Amino acid sequence: MMRGSILAVVVAALSVASAHAIAQEFNIVIRNNAFEPQEIRVPAGKRVSIYVSNEDASAEEFESPALKVEKVIPGKSKGLVRVGPLAPGRYEFFGEFHPNTAKGVVIAE
Amino acid sequence: MFGALIIVFREVIEAGLIIGIVLAATRGVSGRGRWVSAGVLAGALGAGIVALFAEAIANAFEGAGQELFNAGVLSAAVAMLMWHAAWMSRHGREMAVELAAVGAAVTAGKRPMTALAVVVALAVLREGAEVVLFLYGILAAGTSSGSLLLGGALGLAAGAAFTALTYYGLVSIPARHIFTVTTVLIALLAAGMAAQAAQYLDAAGVINGLSRQLWDTSPWLPQDGIVGRVLHALIGYTDRPTELQLIAYLATLAAMAALTRLATPARTAHARAV
């Protein structure tokens, strides 16, 4: 009984550890020159992968001095943005080619 | 239209500054106009090709292709600037003395312009690709593209005017100081590029660690404003630098200083000879 529960704890701990070892993935879509969703919540202190899919025909530049990212996403294509590890807080990003409509924020917590 | 003008202008600021500095640094070198024009043309041509393959580049290396490409382009530019710095410190002082003595009409035609022409080409390539993608996007979207394209063209013209402003600002510096000023500017330019390259390597996942942010000056001088952008291109200003960026910046500055000093053979002997 005792041994079984220790094993269960070890297995649970290992699976948590391996889940954390893999960079967590998030998705953002660009549609009509705007981001969807405009807000994503990511874990603080970890590497995070954000896949940005541009469904518009026009290119967009995913830019954020806060996240230290500057990446062109051509029209009708997908780009991978790697950020972090981030301290808890709000990190704004925008589409440089459509700065009036394309705005969003990454919240690390 | 005004929005497109601003967007394109912001994209071309960095290349504009680099071209202005290169032109000022090579004042009096015969045939430099041809070299710089060739650099701009090659860069523009390359930008078109890069834009054409943007998707393939972005998807290469597990999605880190664009970051690695930018890091590579920036590193090549830094290497060229280092080569130029080393060459200049070996031969430049004689030229500077000649310029001061005989006037700016004297040309030092033997100086290799290749390194700086490549730097110009790489700067135009990197930023030009973004402009091409932006303008192509306007065409692809179709709606009211005429005025947006006009705005983009005006943005390019504003960038050219900015280049001219940089150049004339620099060449108004007295001839005996311009050598020192352009040497320092080129060293800072290289340091800023190295810091950018390091950040691209971090974004690509090649370098992990040293990613702690050292300070945040974005409330006072945001890097995405026009002034912040100019300073970013000129001296590598970053409002939220990481440890890695600072290390790359300082290491490059130190390397540039060492190259300038090491490559200067018996400075006083040269001065006396002239």
Structure tokens at B14: 């960095």
Q: Is residue B271 situated within a structural domain?
A: no
Q: Is residue B268 situated within a structural domain?
A: no
Q: Can you tell me which residue has the tokens 């954020």?
A: A64
**C-alpha separations of A94 from A39, B14, B49, B90, B194 in Å:** 11, 20, 26, 46, 25
Q: Is residue A11 situated within a structural domain?
A: no
pLDDT tens digits, one per residue of B37-70:
999 999 999 999 999 998 899 888 888 999 999 9
In this prediction, residues B207-227 reach a mean pLDDT of 87
Q: Is residue B181 situated within a structural domain?
A: yes
ipTM over 0.90: no
B69 burial type by CB count under 10 A (0-12 exposed, 13-18 middle, 19+ buried): buried
Q: Is residue B269 situated within a structural domain?
A: no
Residue-number span of the structural domain to which B253 is assigned: 2-262
Name the domain count of chain A: 1
pLDDT tens digits, one per residue of B106-151:
344 455 688 999 999 999 999 999 999 888 877 776 666 778 889 9
User: Does B222 sit behind a cis peptide bond, omega within 30 degrees of 0 on the bond before it?
Assistant: no
Q: What is the CATH classification number for the domain harbouring A38?
A: 2.60.40.420
Q: What is the pLDDT along chain A (109 residues), one digit of tens a residue?
A: 455 555 555 555 444 444 444 568 999 999 999 999 999 999 999 889 999 999 998 889 999 988 999 899 988 889 999 998 899 999 999 999 998 899 999 999 9
Q: Is residue A77 situated within a structural domain?
A: yes
Cβ within 8 Å, pair A72-B130: yes
B267 burial type by CB count under 10 A (0-12 exposed, 13-18 middle, 19+ buried): exposed
pLDDT tens digits, one per residue of B7-44:
899 889 989 999 999 999 888 787 889 999 999 999 99
Cβ within 8 Å, pair B137-A75: yes
Cβ-based contacts of B208 with chain A (< 8 Å): 47
Query: What are phi and psi for residue B128, nearest 5 degrees?
Result: -65, -35
Bridge partners (DSSP) of residue A107 are: A41, A90
Structure tokens at B107: 């040309």
Angle at A26 between CA A23 and CA A31, to 5 degrees: 150
Residue-number span of the structural domain to which A83 is assigned: 23-108
| A46 in reach of chain B (CB within 8 A) | no
Q: CA-CA distance, A91 to A65, in Å (whole number)?
A: 9
pLDDT at residue B94, as a whole number: 64
CA-based end-to-end distance of chain A: 37
pLDDT at residue B268, as a whole number: 47
DSSP type of residue A22: S
Please report how the helices B243-262 and B175-203 are oriented relative to each other, as an axis angle in degrees rounded to 10.
140
Closest-CA residue to A73 (of A96, A92, A90, A91): A96
Q: Is residue B100 situated within a structural domain?
A: yes
Cβ within 8 Å, pair B208-A47: yes
DSSP string computed for chain B: -HHHHHHHHHHHHHHHHHHHHHHHHTTT-TTHHHHHHHHHHHHHHHHHHHHHTHHHHHHHHHHTHHHHHHHHHHHHHHHHHHHHHHHHHHHHHHHHHHHHHH-TT---TTS--HHHHHHHHHHHHHHHHHHHHHHHHHHHH-TTHHHHHHHHHHHHHHHHHHHHHHHHHHHTS-HHHHHHHHHHHHHHHHHHHHHHHHHHHHHTTSS-S---B----TTTS-TTSHHHHHHHHHH---SS-BHHHHHHHHHHHHHHHHHHHHT---HHHHHHH-
Query: What are phi and psi for residue A55, nearest 5 degrees?
Result: -90, -10
Of A65, A74, A99, nearest to B133 by CB-CB distance is A74
Of B63, B224, B242, nearest to A65 by CB-CB distance is B224
Name the domain count of chain B: 1
SS (H, E, C) A31-42: ECCEEECCEEEE
User: CB B266: neighbour CB atoms within 10 A?
Assistant: 9
Q: Is residue A91 situated within a structural domain?
A: yes
Q: Is residue A16 situated within a structural domain?
A: no
Q: Is residue A74 situated within a structural domain?
A: yes
Cβ-based contacts of B239 with chain A (< 8 Å): 65
Q: Is residue B127 situated within a structural domain?
A: yes
| B141 in reach of chain A (CB within 8 A) | yes
Q: Do the Cβ atoms of B8 and B128 come closer than 8 Å?
A: no
Q: Can you tell me which residue has the tokens 């320092």?
A: B184
pLDDT at residue A15, as a whole number: 47
